[in-house]
Structure 1
């Protein structure tokens, strides 16, 4: 969840500074797209983009679970519609065993 919460937004704020009603499916999908790709530098100093699907999926799964737990504990404050559910998270490409 820290991966999601620490994500910096276009306006310079962090994702965890947003209020619960501001979490829409579009907002969550945009954050997921940003978490999915990371830029690294190789030994030659070139920028290489790589996918980190496992970490992005784990962050979204943790947020989905936290939303359900929060909704159950504070049903008047947390909406029943979970923007993290039904995201269609795909498993990372792994070699066959």
Structure 2
């Protein structure tokens, strides 16, 4: 089966939708992480410009920054560690452990 071809604008729109959905899900789910009961998020809000800490999203953004600056062949575990230390201040997770 051959890969479907789409226009660049549609591809970029899909990537943006993916990032937006992931960010919304991480933000809404953050306060409830680990819970197994049925939850109601109606009325959930954060202050404008003050997103909740989200180490999952942080890791992806650091990886993206490294990819943009070094290209796919310039990234390894050491490079990702360097970017993490340079761009993510301690504590290195949203729980402050």
**TM tier, smaller:** 0.3 to 0.5
Q: Which has the higher strand share?
A: 1
TM-score w.r.t. structure 1 length? 0.34
Pick the structure with greater CA Rg: 2
TM-score w.r.t. structure 2 length? 0.34
Q: Which has the higher helix share?
A: 2
